[in-house]
Structure 1
Amino acid sequence: MSLKFYFDIFSQPSRAVLLFLKLNKIPFEPKKINLLRGEHYSEEYATINPFQKVPAVVHGNFALSESVAILRYLCREFEVADHWYPKDSKAQARVDEYLEWQHIEIRANLVNYFRTKFLLPVVTGRPADVKKVAQYEKKVTDVLNILEDTWLSERKYLGGDKVSIADLLGACELEHLKMAGYNPQDNRPKVSAWLNKLKEELNPHYEEVHVLVNHIAEKHKGVPPSSPDKLSSICDLLTAISATPNFVGEQFSEEFAKLNPMKKVPVIKDGEFTLTESVGILRYLCREKNVPDHWYPADSKKQARVDEYLEWQHTNTRSNCALYFLNKFMLPGIKGTPPNPETVARRERKMVETLNEVEEIWLNNKSYLAGDKISIADLLGACEIEQTRMAGYNPCEGRPKLAAWLERVRHDTLPHYDSVHAIVRKVTEKYGGVAPASFSKL
């Protein structure tokens, strides 16, 4: 069965998948998509990936997008060493933990910095916004310090003591920074040792996939060229978001920090095994507990379809719905100040676009987000979308497929669906989308 790989070498996730394919000698037919020329917007490519982003693969008649889902799928479908994505449930969950964390921490923050410092000046011909660059650089520094102090604190690799797909994705994101003149290895001995170890173990392919990145970094020294024509290849990057700040509370206690150094929920403790990141937790529970197969199918292609949504949602449903709720309702309640109309309008536009994609693409010919049976993808999607009601937004309005899907998920999971959303309904009915003067009233 042939494998076609659609990619642009300037895309960090594309490089991670390309590196994996080369390292494991998986035969593939390369299909280069030039993002700068807009080739991802062609009608032909839209039939491969309706979201019109890279990378994507077609394996026989099976098309799949989202780099993390692709990497998991390749680990199942081809004969590769177990360390890339371990079969052992706990070892696999540890890799998943990073894969889910990185979307809005490493991926989003590093892309925002690179886009603002280097890419936008190239595309627009205007100097970078110095204030924004400084803001994003601080976020990059903070998240790379978490990589140094937490993820690599007692590990050789991001997912444990052996290299995994987590390391490929992480390294490709960090290498990208060098084009904007930022060296992620400076003053981070553990990050530096980890990157050097990867380069040594994965060469010559590591250098091969980063040849363009290294060329641009050396040639331009972090200073954007005056036009895109002076770069051998460049592209629009994934529109990323800033991580949603937590409301100060019990997650910052010393006791909870022992469970999750990132100080976020949810977290589980199964015996002596502690795990963070909701998607990683759900996958782990499906493997470890006796649950029906439809939640996270054993069949490789069905599982990949669930993974496709799970990875897409981080920077779409999750981020856009959360940022709308945060700016329209949460922050005004915390600060005691009115919401910023321009910010709310901007966040609402992004959320509307995402919900329309759920309506027109994810639910186009399916009863559920990943197929004809309910899965963990539906639980995550429904809970994100229900949250917007507290900010006075009705996600079902003008979206008949989404409305029918939400009711179907609710019906399938009663009485628990109503139980977990009781607080959402109560707040929605009491405040009508208008934030209270103080969160102490909630």
Structure 2
Amino acid sequence: MSITLYFNPYSHRCLSVKTVLLLTKSDFNEKIIDVLKGENVKQAFTNINPNQTVPAITEGFFSLFESHAIIKYICINKPDYKLYPNTLQQKALVDSYLDWHQNEFTKLLDYSKECYLQPLLIGNKIPENRVSRLVDVEEVLVFFTKTFLNNGQYNYIYDQPSFTLADIRAVCDLTSLFICNFDFEKFPILEQYIWRMFKITDLYQSHKEYFNLIQKQKYKNQFIQSILTKQIKQEQITLYFYPLSSPSRAVRSLFLMAKIEYNEKVIDILKSENKSDNYTQINPNQTVPCIKQGTFTLFESHAILKYICEQYMLLDFYPQENLRLKAQIDSYLDFHLSEMRQITEFVMSSQKNQNEQELKDKQKNIDQLLQFFVKIFLNEGKYKYIYNHKTISIADLSAVNEILFLVMINYEFNNVPQIQKYIANIIENSQVKQSNKEYFSTISSNQHNNLNQFNKQIITTTKKRGCC
């Protein structure tokens, strides 16, 4: 039976309920109660909630008010989502936090509502004690950070393995301070906590109307703006790469497509710069690509691609909430490492003087590999992108840059025409073209006149008419 949620988009208690309904994929509809117009005290709503507050829900003839009671009710009916723990002790810890929250976080809600929201929306006078009330708010935040996040040692309240109702309730009330242009830089642990929670896409959906209001305000500090625009403040990344390296171009393509500011440093493998002492200190594996962000370094392209997506919330490239699609992308990336990397080995061996029959056998293996790729990951060419993802994912970036390495040896893609279409679909993206610019230039200068028609069109970034 469908739930009706009676709520107000500027009530943070309501936002927590809506978030839980979204996270548990509950069937519900919304009815806005405009508290500022007194709709909450009208008889129609009083019949549903005699306390005349939002949120409230109805489900058939059943009605319920008080946000904590509502979110527990939803989660008990949806135990598979594990937002409310099953074990007695873990559940007691969540209950303990929620009771504390009800008593103490009210100071945040009242401060933001009475000192900022109501003066903004209905012209109420700003209370004279606004400054002293801010001190009370900051004391609550200090206690919250120290007690429930263990001064940043815990990712989630009481060190739960994943977020719970306690975290949803906390972060929804913390966003009430956005209307105040609150200086979160005083609380860097809270900044990280809020960012961690806003990797949950349903939080953005539940906060949509409220964030629209915040976005209209003239003054927004950098942290609040970064949440609104989903652009986390980060130390700039340096990408160490080599233009002829397929994994390097995959990572570079992601940076360009996501419009992430980064520094670029070419490591010339042909000159053995990857084996220098300086680079070995950054990447002891002496491979490209590699990234450095502050004191943090990371090598292996797939690890880098996933890290960038999670750090910058690039959900179109690597979904976090759609576990099945995420698992499918992971499945391809594992397959890529064990199978698709044969392409690089084949290209390298083709450039050496090898037995002609051996090369024919290896080319046959590559043909079969590409046919398997088309059959399994592109559904015989029916999918535009791997596993029918709606847009280019990190799986596609890894795949297409590896496949493009075959252009180096003028591979005959006519043997697998669906691959031609797949390459053309992705290479028409201007950022992918830009990422491959030096690579294509190298091929063009060395053997442009000897290339077959398709490969020539690819490196000149002209889509082949009639074939794709």
TM-score (norm 2): 0.44
Bigger radius of gyration among the two? 2
Query: Which one has more relative contact order, counting CA pairs under 8 Å at least 6 apart?
Result: 1
